[in-house]
Amino acid sequence: MRQLTLWESLGEAAHRSPDRVYCSFGDTDVTLRELRARAVDMAGRLAASGVARGDRVAVMLPNCPAHLDLVMGLLALGAVYVPLNVRAKGPGLAHILAQSEPVLVVADESTREALGAAVKDSGWSGALHWLAGSARLFGESASLPPDVERSVHDVVSISYTSGTTGPPKGVKVTDAMLRVCAGGVATATDAEDGDVYLMWEPFFHVGGLQMLFLAFLRDVRLHILPRFSASRFWDQARACGARHIHYLGGVVQILLRQPPSPDDRDHSVRTAWGAGATEETWREFERRFGVRLREVYGLTESSSINTVNVQSRVGSIGRAIPGFDVQVVDQAGTPVRPGERGEIRILGVPGAMTPGYFRNEEATAALLRPGGWLYTGDLATADEDGYLYFLGRMTDNVRVGGENVSAWEVESVARAHPQVADCAVVGVKGEVGEQDILLYVQRVAGPEVSEQEIVDWCRNGLAPYQVPRYVAWVEEFSRGPSMRILKDRLAATPDGAWDRVVAEVHRCGR
């Protein structure tokens, strides 16, 4: 039996339940009938502007109705959606424009300065359309071209990675992959008919994009927010009757830093799913808010969600969901024994894995290996039951005294300190040998904590070579759309940082 494309699935859903509310923006509801009609109208406007099947269109907009119309309109037209982070700027943004060569960029007025500079630096010369407020996109609508052919194998989006270890790479995302992405969310949350998902994730991140398709593959509703707000989060969840919320990066820690309230459990949320909860914050979050946490793991390259922790094994990212085989292997690609470290590799059912990176054969060859296995570059161990325990990126290491130190391990220990709101490790050039560890720390409001106290805390949970030499304070970390800390914004130099070695010399000299 032929698998339906996402566009065909929307058509079926709109025919079956035309008046079912697909999503809400504030007090404005959008039904499935309206969603499809708006998508057809947008596809016609795009076609009238010269966009054709297979053309790439970049979109640099916040979560808003016009952005939703563009995503669905491009799907209807058979064009390729290239999402751009609204906070992107500089060489990374210029690289994306130069490599993806979109025929059209639709951008919010607030991005004019950053995008204008990137356009100049990239040499890109396509059409540029600025969107201000609720203005109508483009001009009059033409009819949807009748000869649009669609396949589940079509690349419907090119999603660029954050590029922390080099220029951003464009992940080719197919129609089939987005269906698998949506199914992963349904599995992670035990989706039921009538469920409401509070959606703060930006459309330009796979965590947001996948949600747009869940809501017409399953009888659920999205309540879409323009952005994440810690102070308003639970009020927003309460107001829309949300049953599920998503977390990434430091979201769990950020929500826990909000002042306790008698209303902390006054909501209908039953599941929070995502990645990045530490053992300490996991237990505290469930106790305080009465919400079950489900850690997941996956990559955009492998349809977003590949493992789910359904048994509340605190600290684990779970085990493989149906449709995937997830293994921990050594350098030769041989599965390691339970408890041993290795690299995570993933094998998915046909259609679940990316065909590769856009215009980057070298990176594609490093990612996809013989037999269809995708090598993630992530370290983990697995227990006897196949539950995985994440140990950080293989490339996010600091080489100290001949030893590889996982930044994730150091951060996990430091973050457990009650006065640490969040932290990040970077490697700096060592005075002797390879590198030293610089720990950036964002403090919790309240009693002051010293650099020495942070280092002493780390000594209790880390090997001597893993203990940071330098500590520096930050008021706030720069974060990406998934709320992960952007380490490339942190200076890889100890200038101005507290130095453990110097402090020890001073103590000994007293």
Poorest-pLDDT segment among 87-101, 151-165, 269-283: 151-165
Q: Side chain identity at 328, as an amino acid letter?
A: V
Question: Which run of H or of E encompasses 197?
Answer: strand 196-199
Distance CA 209, CA 305 (A): 13
What's 235's DSSP letter? H
**Band (132; pLDDT cuts 50, 70, 90):** confident
Question: Which run of H or of E encompasses 73?
Answer: helix 65-77
CA-nearest of 397, 407, 439, 405 to 420 is 439
Residue 397 has pLDDT above 70, yes or no: yes
Give the pLDDT mean for 289-305. 96
**Band (249; pLDDT cuts 50, 70, 90):** low
Distance CA 37, CA 34 (A): 5
- Give the residue extent of every domain in the chain: 1-22+30-150, 397-509
Question: Which run of H or of E encompasses 431?
Answer: none
Mean pLDDT, rounded, of the chain: 91
Give the pLDDT mean for 141-151. 77
Distance CA 447, CA 469 (A): 23
The pLDDT of residue 432 is 60
The pLDDT of residue 32 is 98
Place of tokens 């970077």: 426
CATH 3.30.2130.10 given to domain 397-509: no
The pLDDT of residue 395 is 78
> Among positive and negative, which fits the CA dihedral 244, 264, 63, 94?
negative
Give the pLDDT mean for 258-265. 95
**Band (112; pLDDT cuts 50, 70, 90):** very high
Instruction: Find out whether 9 and 183 touch, Cβ atoms under 8 Å.
Output: no
- Rounded to 5°, the CA angle 237-309-174 comes to 80
Highest mean pLDDT: which range of 219-223, 396-400, 456-460 = 219-223
More reliable by pLDDT, 434 or 202: 202
The pLDDT of residue 164 is 47
Q: What is the pLDDT of residues 21-70, one digit of tens each?
A: 999 999 999 999 999 999 999 999 999 889 999 999 999 999 999 999 99
CB atoms closer than 10 angstroms to residue 46:
28
CATH architecture, domain 1-22+30-150:
3-Layer(aba) Sandwich (3.40)
CB atoms closer than 10 angstroms to residue 384:
8
